[in-house]
Amino acid sequence: MARRHGTGAGTPKQRALLALLLTEAGQPVAVHEIVDALWGQDPPDSAVNVVQRHVGALQRLLEPELPAGDRSRWLLRGSGGYRLEVGPDDLDLLRFLALRQQAAQDGQPPTATGLLIGALALWRGPAASGIAPEARSHPAFTALDGEHLAAVKEAAELAPASWTYEPVVPNVIL
């Protein structure tokens, strides 16, 4: 589901909404935060209605076989916002974060370095690349880019103690 690629991901605002929901996968994203990410300080009066329409379009995109009126299994409403239900096997970002956490808990340089190298191999570019620059400036996306840079730094610091001679970051994309 979340690993689909291509340009069929809707309008620029729908892609920005999907990027935000993926960034916060499994967590509710409040409607006011969605409005802020999509329009910044100047949302239209119809912003909440537009968000609802974008959510409906994303539900149809993610689950084209879903009958009208049925509850989506991926994109859910609740807690004053919307939540995208995916797991580490569905989303590279969650796998990246899980591997970083495992590396931090392991503490042994060779294992931690291998976990970080695996995490970095999942990274495909700046968070939310391909969406409008004004939406990319949302704190959720800049925080993810910070997570990536921290993982690069951690892997580089651990590599000498791990006797790792393979490239720590095979395709550095900053």
Find the range with the poorest average confidence among 55-59, 134-138, 157-161.
157-161
Place of tokens 């580089």: 156
Statement: residue 103 has pLDDT above 70: yes
Q: What is the pLDDT of residue 135?
A: 87
Query: Would you place residue 166 in the very low, low, confident or very high pLDDT band (cuts 50, 70, 90)?
Result: low
Statement: residue 36 has pLDDT above 90: yes
Query: Would you place residue 124 in the very low, low, confident or very high pLDDT band (cuts 50, 70, 90)?
Result: confident
Statement: residue 101 has pLDDT above 80: yes
Instruction: Give CA torsion, residues 84, 86, 91, 93, to 10 deg.
Output: 60
- For the segment 37-58, the average pLDDT, to the nearest whole number, is 94
Output the pTM of the full model: 0.82
- For the segment 28-46, the average pLDDT, to the nearest whole number, is 94
Mean pLDDT, the chain, as a whole number? 86
Residue 88 and residue 95 in contact, taking contact as beta carbons nearer than 8 Å: yes
d(CA 115, CA 151): 10
**Most confident of the following: 27-41, 77-91, 150-164:** 27-41
Query: Would you place residue 133 in the very low, low, confident or very high pLDDT band (cuts 50, 70, 90)?
Result: confident
d(CA 174, CA 125): 7
Q: What is the pLDDT of residue 1?
A: 38
Statement: residue 174 has pLDDT above 50: no
